[in-house]
Structure 1
Amino acid sequence: MSVVCVIPARFASTRYPGKPLAELRGATGESRSLIERSWRAACEVDQFDAIYVATDDDRIAEAAKAFGADVLMTSDTCRNGTERCAEALGLLGDGVEMVVNLQGDAPLTPPWFLVALIEGLRSDSQAALATPILRCDGETLAALKADRAAGRVGGTTAVCDSEKHALYFSKEVIPYTAQDYAPDAETPVFHHVGVYAYRPWALHAYPDWSVGPLETLEGLEQLRFLEAGHKVRCVEVEARGRKFWELNNPEDIPRIESMLSEMGLP
């Protein structure tokens, strides 16, 4: 039974067309595409038996093959990354223990997030899938609030129950807190890290479930599992001094490049 990483990537993003091929400059000054940096992040995880870029776009496929990635061509009817992973699983056939969806906009995902994710799903037989959450410090919380104040849809937050099963995910900053926090202080807000580990049965079933009102309003694919009554395991991970941010808007490029430079990542 294998653990397969799938990196879904599409060119025709509504908010940021061509995002997977956006260039990011690292600490050495070398520029690499977003999709290559996400693939390199996956390559740091020993637990993956195979890594694929799944796309419907020849430009992304050619770029991925050029830096050494294996590619699965999927249809242009996939409505989100989870549906693209489901189609990729169908191409791979049997013998897969779990599929890890490393979204192609998360180049700063450290390997221990992904290891913890795999272990988290294995330890929770009730869960259809697992996803990491990272407790925000004051600096990250301020950045999330600044995005919302500016009308930008930035990071996603998560709220869990006492057993770390998800209650809700939102592009708003939840739970509400009026308190001001020092940049390095812990806060009660958890940043959702947009990575998922699915059990094959759940991933196969996902495209046939109805898109509910919450998924429609928030535009968050993981809400389909909650609306269908399935448990989502939230795996709390630690930053260990690493910065984390996803590339959601063009304005995020300078922020991520600054983080790459600050952390000495090439």
Structure 2
Amino acid sequence: MSAVILIPARYASQRYPGKPLAELRQPDGSRKSLIRMSWEAACKVPGVDAVHVVTDDDRIADVAKVFGASVIMTSPECENGTARCADALTRATLDADIIVNLQGDAPLTPPWFVEALIDEMRRNPSASMATPVLRLDRETYGHFAEDRKNDRVGGTTAVFDKDMNALYFSKEIVPYLDPSKLPEGPLPVFHHVGVYAYTPEALTAYGSWPQGPLEGVEGLEQLRFLENGHKIRCVEVDGRGRVFWELNNPTDVDRIESVLRTLA
């Protein structure tokens, strides 16, 4: 089964305008744009036939072309990354069995996270969509709790059934844990990593559905699939000691740069 990675990127982010072009300091002192780092992360995934940046903004497209990325221009009406990927699928007539959506704000995504999704789709032909979940360590749980305490939208959490099918995704920490009674062992909270693998049919169906009330209040595009009775397979991944964090707010720049220093 062939697979391609799409990296949706928009300039007009409400929380962080121009985010894809934000430059992060590398361990050697140089700086790289967020979109370039995300593209480089995608290029490290084995078994992928192509990687494309998908955007409606010429500024992002121009920067991406300079560092060698293939670019697919999409409609400015795309309201989120999944809609942008669906639009790119139509405009570029992509010939692939698996479409991977690697968000342009997740440069710390290890290649094995994406590889695990592709492997899951290849092992289970009945699966039409998959996404990775990562059990929170105490440090990352602390980041989540700090963000919520300060009314910042940080990472997303996921809950799923015994068969690893998603039950819900939220920008709140679910399930709720009493801060004074955290369990001694592994925490039962999973970070939803913002990567998706879809069949072309599932991605096309998304574009035909209107936004539902849960997607509207949470601002999470994957909820549209659940609201329409469409299963999402959660794939637990192992961070292998690496801290994973997305760039959601300007305050996340320092967090990500500190992780980059540990990887040098």
- What percent of counterpart residues are identical? 61
RMSD: 1.2
Shift, 1:205, TM fit? 1.2
Paired with 1:244 and 1:94, the residues of 2 have a C-alpha distance of 30
Give the match for residue 224 of structure 2: 224
Aligned partner of residue 127 in structure 1, secondary structure? coil
Tell whether 2:168 aligns with 1:168.
Answer: yes
For structure 2, the residue ranges without an aligned partner over 5 or more in a row are none
Q: Quick one: which amino acid aligns to residue 224 of structure 1?
A: R
Shift, 1:181, TM fit? 5.9
**Deviating runs (4+, > 4 A) in structure 1?**
none
Give the match for residue 52 of structure 1: 52
Tell whether 2:138 aligns with 1:138.
Answer: yes
Q: Quick one: which amino acid aligns to residue 96 of structure 2?
A: V
Report the count of equivalent residues.
262
Give the match for residue 187 of structure 2: 187
Aligned partner of residue 196 in structure 1, secondary structure? strand
Give the match for residue 214 of structure 2: 214
Paired with 1:201 and 1:211, the residues of 2 have a C-alpha distance of 18
Tell whether 2:13 aligns with 1:13.
Answer: yes
Give the match for residue 237 of structure 1: 237
Query: Which stretch of the first structure deviates more once superposed, 122-131 or 164-173?
Result: 122-131
For structure 1, the residue ranges without an aligned partner over 5 or more in a row are none
C-alpha offsets along residues 61-98 of structure 1, whole Å, 9 cap, x if unaligned? Answer: 00000011000010100010001000111123263101
Contact residue 7 and residue 104 of structure 1 kept, 8 A: yes
Contact residue 157 and residue 170 of structure 1 kept, 8 A: yes
C-alpha offsets along residues 88-141 of structure 1, whole Å, 9 cap, x if unaligned? Answer: 111232631010000000000001101001112223344331000000011111
Shift, 1:27, TM fit? 1.3
Q: Quick one: which amino acid aligns to residue 84 of structure 1?
A: R
Give the match for residue 75 of structure 2: 75
Paired with 1:259 and 1:165, the residues of 2 have a C-alpha distance of 31
**If each structure's strand is expressed as a fraction of its own residues, which one has the higher value?**
1
Paired with 1:38 and 1:166, the residues of 2 have a C-alpha distance of 26
The two structures have a TM-score, normalised by structure 2, of: 0.96
Give the match for residue 127 of structure 1: 127
Indicate how the Cα distance of structure 1 residues 181 and 19 shifts in structure 2: closer, same or farther if over 3 A, else same.
farther
Query: How do 1:69-108 and structure 2 match up within 5 A?
Result: 69-93=69-93, 95-108=95-108
Contact residue 103 and residue 194 of structure 1 kept, 8 A: yes
